[in-house]
Amino acid sequence: MGRKKAYDRDELLVGAVEVFREHGFARTTTQMLVDRLGVNRFSLYAEFENKLGLYDAALEAYDESIVGRRFGPLERPGAGLAEVRELLEFYGAAADGPAAGKGCLLCNTAVEFGPDDPIGTGRVDRYLDRLEEAFSAALTNAQQAGDLPASVNVAREASFLTASVLGLFVMIRARAPDARLKNAAAAALAHLEGLG
Amino acid sequence: MGRKKAYDRDELLVGAVEVFREHGFARTTTQMLVDRLGVNRFSLYAEFENKLGLYDAALEAYDESIVGRRFGPLERPGAGLAEVRELLEFYGAAADGPAAGKGCLLCNTAVEFGPDDPIGTGRVDRYLDRLEEAFSAALTNAQQAGDLPASVNVAREASFLTASVLGLFVMIRARAPDARLKNAAAAALAHLEGLG
DNA sequence: TAGATATCTGAACGTACGTTCAGATATATT
DNA sequence: AATATATCTGAACGTACGTTCAGATATCTA
């Protein structure tokens, strides 16, 4: 059947996500990818077609793994205010975490590419919808559990939390000081808890 | 003394800001700039040294004109809650405005370049400080005017408002639906007014 | 009006980078 | 073992784009 692949596709994507988060799409060269992933150009192109194909695959992997890890808890049936709190506290403390200087790959993509979407897979749009919907579901659950008054406008607060998280992502990417992140997250949380 | 310049430096920068806001730095070509600004390559290089020099000048012009127009009111001695409200309402309605699909050039720069700052002029850092400080000053004034309790943690709310605005910028860049922007801005404002 | 000096024109240059390919190498099947 | 098939290697290619330059053009001073 021929020779075995010397690389693992998923491991390649983990590395690609890292490099693209650090340098963005345009400023990442194929040479950087070859070096950091320890794979050959040929294999990279055989597996992902071209640089944009690799980027799109990286976005998909990022959405599944990283976004899934952070927002998945909010999307589960029993989720409520506790999950929102944990999320905000996590990003509020991200100045020292692995995302420092990197931010969120999908948020970065939204800004670098703008509304043009040259990839054409609509991943950014679906990502924004996903965040909003995750917050919306958790807040609705909280209402039904009696942790949030029925009078609260869930759609409004979900959009608000989405914007807050995006703002934190920009700050994390820009290596804003720890206190600034902590403060911003704490105030957003205080707002939510002040609704009760 | 020689021939007169056929261009006006400030007009050039207005156009450059526009193009860079639409396409970012890397995806903007010198050809696009020549076409849109109606100036020749030679003059562009004579005036700004190179593409990065033009970008830096565009950042400076943007900071002075656009940022100045929006955040200047917050920085004036008498500013208070009213100015914060007007700012949030403005960006909450930006889905139909001239910034739609563009966002904020300095926020975009923070994300596209990340913490590397290849320009080396620290404009992004100073921009983030400026936003935070503008909010901080207005909130402090509001406290002294009795519009905001002395117990409010001004630094915390200033960081929060900065993050909110950055989040709105990302949404505006991504052409998020009007309702989402309006909601996010309204909730941030409600939070502020709920402190009193 | 003449000369000097600065800007304009657009074609050309150099290079960095995305992409490709022919030859080499390894593994699976028979 | 022999053959077939798939992957690996690294050098080479093509091109898009930032940058430069020599010749042309306009405007200022005297």
CB A84 within 8 A of CB A192: yes
Q: Is the pLDDT of residue A146 over 90?
A: yes
What pLDDT, in 10s, does the model give residues B153-188?
999 999 999 999 999 999 999 999 999 999 999 999
| Nearest nucleotide, CA B45 to C1' | D19
Chain B nearest CA to A1, separation (Å): 43
d(CA A111, CA A104): 11
d(CA B192, CA B196): 8
The answer to whether B167 contacts chain A (CB < 8 Å) is yes
Statement: the CB of B42 is under 7 Å from strand C: yes
Q: Is the pLDDT of residue B1 over 90?
A: no
| DSSP assigned state of B6 | S
- The two most distant CA atoms of chain B are separated, in Å, by 65
Statement: the CB of A29 is under 7 Å from strand C: yes
What pLDDT, in 10s, does the model give residues A46-87?
999 999 999 999 999 999 999 999 999 999 999 999 999 999
CA of A50 to C1' of C27 (A): 27
What pLDDT, in 10s, does the model give residues A113-136?
998 776 777 999 999 999 999 999
CA of A29 to C1' of C17 (A): 7
| A49 φ/ψ sector (left φ>0, alpha ψ -120 to 50, else beta) | left
Instruction: With H, G, I as helix, E, B as strand and everything else as coil, classify residue B33.
Output: helix
CB count, 10 Å around CB of B184? 30
pLDDT cut 90: percent of chain A above it: 92
| B177 φ/ψ sector (left φ>0, alpha ψ -120 to 50, else beta) | beta
CB A181 within 8 A of CB A81: no
Tokens of B176: 């998020």
Q: Is the pLDDT of residue B116 over 80?
A: no
Element (H, E) at A171: helix A154-173
CB A44 within 8 A of CB A54: yes
What pLDDT, in 10s, does the model give residues B48-105?
999 999 999 999 999 999 999 999 999 999 999 999 999 999 999 999 999 999 999 9
Tokens of B58: 């565009």
Statement: the CB of B1 is under 7 Å from strand C: yes
Q: What is the pLDDT of residue A1?
A: 65
> How would you label B125-135 residue by residue, b for 16+ Cβ within 10 Å and e otherwise?
eebbebbbbbb
What pLDDT, in 10s, does the model give residues A7-19?
999 999 999 999 9
Q: Do A174 and B101 touch (CB under 8 A)?
A: no
Query: If pLDDT is split at 50, 70 and 90, which confidence band does B117 have?
Result: confident
d(CA A174, CA A102): 8
CB B44 within 8 A of CB B54: yes
Tell me the one-letter amino acid at B178: D
Q: What is the pLDDT of residue B92?
A: 98
Q: Is 0.75 surpassed by the pTM of this model?
A: yes
CB A169 within 8 A of CB A103: yes
| DSSP assigned state of A66 | I
CB B171 within 8 A of CB B184: yes
Chain A nearest CA to B195, separation (Å): 9
Q: On chain D, which bases lie within 7 A of the protein's CB atoms?
A: 4-11, 16-22, 25-29
Tokens of A192: 């939510």
Q: Do A167 and B166 touch (CB under 8 A)?
A: yes
**Cα dihedral B47, B53, B59, B64 in deg (nearest 10):** -40
Facing A183 at nearest CB: one of B22, B156, B167: B156
d(CA A61, CA B127): 33
Q: Do B125 and A174 touch (CB under 8 A)?
A: yes
CA of B47 to C1' of C12 (A): 22
Whose tokens are 């860079």? That residue is B20
